[in-house]
Amino acid sequence: MKTGSIVAALVGSIVLAACAPCAAQEPVTSFSELAGKLRPGDTVWVTDAQGRELKGRIGSLEPGAMTLRGGGRTFNLSDVRQVTVRRGDSVGNGATIGLAVGALAGLGAGIAACAAYPKDDPLRGDACLMAIGLFWMPGMAVGALVGVGIDALIPGKKLVAYRAPVPGAHAAPRASIAPLVTPRAKGVALSFSF
């Protein structure tokens, strides 16, 4: 059973590692910083100071203004409350999660096939290893493919890229969690910011 515990620890680490980069990024509070996140041609949703939302493609982005293509509407920094963008989701995390689920399913099928093998047979150990290998490896491959397929069907999320600063407001405290796996230690890393 030691092998099963190692496999379970590895699969758990893979799933946790896939979730670590999913932490939300804070929106910027100036157009000059926004130029590092967006480019001309990106589709955005701009919410103006009156709360109206307008969808369009960025024509130009300058430190004090943004122009959308089509209507040629130009927004000054003081006219914009929020800029939102849709970012596509990488299929890598779907592949990782699918691989982990497929590995667990394949390992379970291999262990079930091993349990069905006669206990008094001298070749049982070799047969069990072969059964686990025959189910585990294809399980990982099929799981990864299914994960990629499912992830490809999910549209990206709308993320706030720019939010107008609120005078006198302070940043809220934040906490983040990430897996910590080294040759000598396994655990969870916590960080707090104020």
40-81: pLDDT as tens digits: 888 888 888 888 888 888 888 887 788 888 767 888 878 888
Minimal CA–CA distance to 54: which of 86, 82, 26? 82
- Both tokens of 177, joined, read 């969690």
Minimal CA–CA distance to 13: which of 163, 180, 161? 180
Contact between 64 and 32 (Cβ < 8 Å): no
Quick one: pLDDT at residue 147?
Answer: 87
- At residue 141, the 3 state secondary structure works out as helix
Q: Report the pLDDT averaged over residues 170-191.
A: 73
* Domain count of the fold of the chain: 1
Range of the domain at 35: 1-194
Model pLDDT for residues 95-144, shown as the tens digit of each residue: 888 889 988 888 888 888 878 878 888 877 888 888 888 888 888 888 88
pTM, full prediction: 0.46
